[in-house]
Structures are given as C-alpha cells and as structure tokens.
Structure 1
Amino acid sequence: MNPIAKTVWALSLLLPLAACAKQEAPAKTMTNEQGCTRIRSIGPQDPYKDPPPLKQACLGPYLLEIPQNYFYNQIGTEHDGSYALALEYPSLEPFKPGERIGLSVDVAVRTVTVKYSYIDRTDLETVMKREYTPMDHQVGDPEESLDTRVKGELKNGLTPYYVDMEKVRAHYLKEGMRENAPVLKTDWHTDWYLGRDGDGKVTTVIKCTPREITEPGVEYRGGKMVKSHGDGLAECDHTIMMADLDTIIRMNYPREGVLHWRKLETRARQLVTDSIVDTRRDAK
C-alpha cells in the first residue's frame, strides 16, 4: 500500500471514533420531568474552592442555586440530579469547603442530613400519614401503630409515643423469632414524637433511638460534637411537609437535636426558599 493510501486508510478508521467521541460528550444541562432545567457540573470539581461556587439543583419544577459546600458531597448534585444537603450540628451552618471529603467519624456524627422530595402525584398529607400508620403487611405489629405504643404527655410541642418493648418482644416471639434475634433488642426500634397543628393534623413526625438507650454516642470536645467511646449512636429521623412547594423534607441528626426541632424545621425550609431562582418561582 502506497503512503497516500495508508494515510487515507488510517483517517477512515479515526473518523468514526471521533464522531462517537463527539456524540458521547456530556450534556451541559439536564431537564427533569417537571420541566426544571439545571446546568450540570461537568469535569473534575474542587470541593475546597473558597468562596464556594453556586451549583444548580432541581426540586420538582423549581430551580435552586446553592453554594457547593452545602451539598452532602460538597461538589453538587449526583450525575442523575439527586442530592442531599448537610449542615453541622448544632450551628446548622454548612461545613467548611472540603471538610466532608474523606468523611471522618467525628464529622459524620455532627451532620444534619437534609433531603427534599417533590411529591408530584400523591397528596402530601397521605405521604405524611404513611409515616405513622401501619401498611397492610404491618397491621398487628405493635411498633407500627400509635394505638399500641405508650403515649406520653405533650412536651415541647411534641406528643411522644414510646415503643412498648414488652409488646414488641411478645409479638416477634409469637412470630417465631429466636430469643437473641436483633429485632428483640431495644436499639432496633424507635420512639416516635408527633407534632400537630391547631386543627390536630400531624405536621411533624420524628423517630428517635429509644429513651431506654441512655448513652448518646457523642460528646463535646473543644466546642465540637465528636464520637464518644463505645458503640452506637443515638439519632433521629425527622419528616415534615412544605405544603407551599408540594415537598416532603426528611432530616437525620443526633438525638439531642429533637429538643430543637422547630429550629431544625425552620432552617430546612429556609434552605429551599433562599435558594429558589426567582424566575422559576414566578413560572410555577
């Protein structure tokens, strides 16, 4: 084969590869089912950049712009557009840029994780009701119903519904569980705390490590919450509605945070309202 023919032949092999590379270049934007279009973060990201750049995320039809150090991974949304935010307890401020990279145990235990879910096809109150009402396959399970929990007195705006471990153990032993099964241990379960509005509608559901577990698993050193010696960590999962945005908010944090549940709710809502791009809010 002469030199010119070789060159033509080589180019003919490279052209399809170049075309494929061009076709596979990542899109600079992504649009979700509700029509929100965000600019994607493409290529290597620098979580240590200070001041942190704004990154875009979508909550249903709403476009958000959030400093990247607020994100759980401190670089922005995941490739599919999903995301969670992370705040430092008890300040409820974001972690310093890059502080969550190579996540240490001490940083993890003082993290307040905040997740937002836009509810498109289901009534928000129905979603909330599922948080404290047994599903069909859970009927008869004493930990899944308010009626079979130990109701406490209203305190700090919340009504406690403590897990009744005598009923729980009897239930699972009757189901054939062995005596040393993990599900028969107290730390396998949660105490519930419900907040209601003036009409009695449940607006807050908090599920925490039971009161019988007195060791919180954390302590303070130099003004910072860190992991204490020993196993386990007392924590809470907290669910609320943000009706004006058709959104369910779910948080996770150290158990002592339940004392400041109102502050946590206010902060979680504020993160969204302060981040919505005005043009998208007006388009709703």
Structure 2
Amino acid sequence: MKVNSTIAWTLCLLLLSGASASAEQQDPASIQTNEQGCTRIRSIGPQDPYKDPTPLKQACLGPYLLEIPQNYFYNNIGTEHDGSYALTLEYPLLEPFKPGERVNWDFDVNARTVTFDFSYIDRIDIREAMRRRYIPMEYKKDEPQEGLEGRIKGDKVYGLDPYYLNMELVRAYFRGRGFKEDARIMSPDRHHDWFLSKNDSGEVVTVIKCTPQEITWSGVEYRDGKVVRSKGPGFAYCSHTLMIAELDTLIEMRYLREGMQHWKRMEQRARELIAQFKVESTGNAKATSATGQSPAL
C-alpha cells in the first residue's frame, strides 16, 4: 500500500514533535532535590574548567542552596554526580585559584591548596558529631592516641589547647599487643598532635589534628613568594574541623601544618564562603543568582 507523501510528512512531524516533547519532559533530570528539600540545577554536559568569566554552579548544604563560581570547586567544575563537593582556596592568601589552575595535578599547587569540605549533620546531634572528633569510639577507647587522656597536655599555642602525641605510651600499648618495632603504627608519622578550642559556653568548637612535632620537616619551601614542594617524603599537614551549630554543619579543612598559626583566619574564610554563596530562599532551584548571572549547566 502506498502512503500519500503529505500524510507521511505529517507523520514524520508528529514523531519529531513527540520526541521533542519527550526531551522537554526529561529536562527535570537536570534538577536535583536532596533529603533536606534543597533543590538545585545540576551541571550536565561537557564542562570547561578554564572558562573565564567563571560560571556559577549550584550546590546544597543541607537545606541551604549555594551558588558558587566554578573555580572554587575541588574538581574545578562543580558538584559530583551525587551532589557532594569540596571547595579550595590558595594558601597563604586564601583566595580562589585562577580558572583551570588546578586541573593538571601538580605537587606545588597541591601544597598550597586549602580544602574546605562541608557536611550537613542531621542524623545525629551536631554536638555529638563534634564530640566524636576527639572522644574515641568504645572499641578504641584504650588506644592512647585516640583520646585526650593518653596525650600530653601542653601550654596554649596560638590560643589553642594542645594535646601532644605520647609516642612512648603508643609504642608500649601496641608492643603489648604483639606489634613489632618496625610496624607502621609505631611511627609518629602515622599519628597526630591535637589542638582544641572552646566557645564561651565551654563547648569544643574547633579540633585540629596535625602531623606531630616529632616530624620536623614541613615538605615545603617558599619560592618567589609562592609555596612549593621541597625535599622530603610528603607534607606536614593539619586536618581542621569547625562546628557551626546554628547551621548544623561541620567544616573539615586541610592545609599545611604551618597554616595552623592562621587557624582563626581559616575559620573566618570558611564562614565567609557560606555567607558569600548562600542563596536566602531555597524553594525551587533558581534560574538566576543574586548577581544576575545564570548558573551554568
């Protein structure tokens, strides 16, 4: 049976129209809502980490919608497929890297990268989540490096209360459990010195864990005003947890050990990042930010 060409063309247009409508129906796939009700526009398609001016990308911190320039993201392009993300600044100025500067992994760039990892806490109380940063789990409570009691309390450093690693006690503990002297757990570079700060109510709000003082090398040096890698097996670093109770948020920062002297500035910048990028109203994902720039897909 022959089909009239006009009818055939009409059928073709209908099929194309249906495909277009189907594609439009799939557009919501570029929208993602998390468990706390924050809805964001996802970054989809090819991404250009070198793009300048830098496009805005949307991310969620629990129920809070953030709009963040692409070059702040650890991966240089935006959130991961599941919505997770970390942000970076360059040490010591604590300003963002240039677009694409961190794309090609480099020891020098890595050395001056300060990482900010945001965690919204809603499964447990935020204060309990913070306590777990310095109070050991039940099955590790006897290990001297896991709590405050097995450490050496020192005088304040940069306004922080130090709890230094007691390697003599650590070695004795693991020696008593059959570990050999050359076991990795017997080496100080497997452990950390701890530094705590409390608020006016006596709550621990800052926990900083650094490569211990027994490790004297830093792994970095300055060249033309920039931090670069020096000789050594790695970097002496700090992992720094800040509690922001009013937002039910923990911020984990990682940076060179020498940066601990600037810990208050680190915390200030962490708070500034949230304040700078937080969109006041979440509701539905917005097509345009407060600056008038459209988030990129």
TM-score relative to the length of structure 2: 0.86
Residue 275 of structure 1 corresponds to 277
Distance 2:134 2:165 in 1: 13
Residue 91 of structure 1 corresponds to 93
Give the alignment partner of residue 107 of structure 1, picking from 106, 109, 118: 109
What do the CA deviations read for 1:48-75 (whole angstroms, capped 9, x no partner)?
Answer: 1111011100011100001000000111
Give the alignment partner of residue 232 of structure 1, picking from 231, 234, 257: 234
Cα drift, residue 27 of structure 1: 1.2
Report matched runs for 1:150-189 at 5 Å. 150-189=152-191
Q: Does 1:74 align with 2:61?
A: no
Q: Does 1:200 align with 2:197?
A: no
Residue 259 of structure 1 corresponds to 261
Cα drift, residue 148 of structure 1: 1.1
* Residues 235 and 252 in structure 1, CA contact (< 8 A), matched pair in contact too: yes
Residue 52 of structure 2 corresponds to 50
Distance 2:2 2:112 in 1: 68
The residue matched to 1:143 in structure 2 has which SS? helix
* Residues 49 and 97 in structure 1, CA contact (< 8 A), matched pair in contact too: yes
Residue 41 of structure 1 corresponds to 43
Q: How many residues align?
A: 270
Distance 2:29 2:45 in 1: 11
What do the CA deviations read for 1:58-93 (whole angstroms, capped 9, x no partner)?
Answer: 011100001000000111101111000011001110
Cα drift, residue 28 of structure 1: 1.4
TM-score relative to the length of structure 1: 0.90
The residue matched to 1:38 in structure 2 has which SS? strand
The unaligned stretches of length 5 or more in structure 1 are none
Cα drift, residue 25 of structure 1: 7.3
* Residues 69 and 94 in structure 1, CA contact (< 8 A), matched pair in contact too: yes
Distance change (3 Å), C-alpha of 1:63 and 1:25: closer
The residue matched to 2:144 in structure 1 has which SS? coil
Give the alignment partner of residue 243 of structure 1, picking from 242, 245, 260: 245
Cα drift, residue 103 of structure 1: 1.4
* Residues 55 and 76 in structure 1, CA contact (< 8 A), matched pair in contact too: yes
Distance 1:127 1:59 in 2: 16
Identity %, equivalent residues: 59
The unaligned stretches of length 5 or more in structure 2 are 284-297
Distance change (3 Å), C-alpha of 1:115 and 1:3: farther
Cα drift, residue 26 of structure 1: 7.9
* Residues 26 and 42 in structure 1, CA contact (< 8 A), matched pair in contact too: no
* Residues 72 and 84 in structure 1, CA contact (< 8 A), matched pair in contact too: yes
* Residues 71 and 77 in structure 2, CA contact (< 8 A), matched pair in contact too: yes
Residue 222 of structure 1 corresponds to 224
Distance 1:273 1:280 in 2: 14
Residue 120 of structure 2 corresponds to 118
Q: Which amino acid aligns with 1:244?
A: E
Q: Which amino acid aligns with 1:273?
A: A
* Residues 127 and 245 in structure 2, CA contact (< 8 A), matched pair in contact too: no
Residue 140 of structure 2 corresponds to 138
What do the CA deviations read for 1:5-26 (whole angstroms, capped 9, x no partner)?
Answer: xxx9xx9xx99xx79x958878
The residue matched to 1:45 in structure 2 has which SS? coil
Let me know the Cα RMSD of the aligned residues: 2.2
* Residues 64 and 278 in structure 2, CA contact (< 8 A), matched pair in contact too: yes
Cα drift, residue 3 of structure 1: 10
Cα drift, residue 155 of structure 1: 2.6
* Residues 39 and 282 in structure 2, CA contact (< 8 A), matched pair in contact too: no
Q: Whose RCO is larger (CA < 8 A, sep 6+)?
A: 2
Q: Which amino acid aligns with 1:219?
A: E
Distance 2:177 2:132 in 1: 24
What do the CA deviations read for 1:207-234 (whole angstroms, capped 9, x no partner)?
Answer: 0000111100000111110110121210
Q: Which amino acid aligns with 1:122?
A: I
Q: Which amino acid aligns with 1:265?
A: E
Q: Which amino acid aligns with 1:111?
A: T
Distance 1:40 1:127 in 2: 29
